[in-house]
Amino acid sequence: MLGKGHVEHYRDALVVVPLMAIFATATATILRRPTWLFLSSGAWFIIIEGLISTLEKPWPFTAFLQASAGDRLHLLIFAGWATLAVVGAIAAIHRDLAGE
């Protein structure tokens, strides 16, 4: 049985996880190669978000982590990052479409 405090964690996850799926799909569309995606995401998280900004600035992964903890401001920021990734994916999708 779920206690009152646990329901909020599940609610936050139900909101944040679909946004992360949209963000991941959009970045996979932009980069196209799985190796590039994993290496660039790992390097971004370790170097930019971890070492330079020490997980304090609302970069994509930091905003995702804070939003999954229930922070509504970071949820909106992460939604903005996901929207930006979708816009980039829309611009890059023409490479994968076959013309007639």
pLDDT single digits (tens) 8-61: 767 778 889 999 999 999 999 999 888 998 999 899 999 998 999 888 898 999
CB atoms within 10 A of CB 12: 17
Give the closest residue to 26 by CA, choosing from 13, 14, 15, 41: 41
As given in the structure block, the two tokens for residue 25 are 């799909």
> In which band, very low, low, confident or very high, does the pLDDT at 1 lie, cut at 50, 70 and 90?
low
54-76 pLDDT, tens per residue?
A: 888 989 999 998 998 888 899 99
SS3 77: helix
- How far apart are the C-alpha atoms of 74 and 79, rounded to whole Å? 8
- The DSSP letter of residue 46 is I
Question: pLDDT value at position 56?
Answer: 87
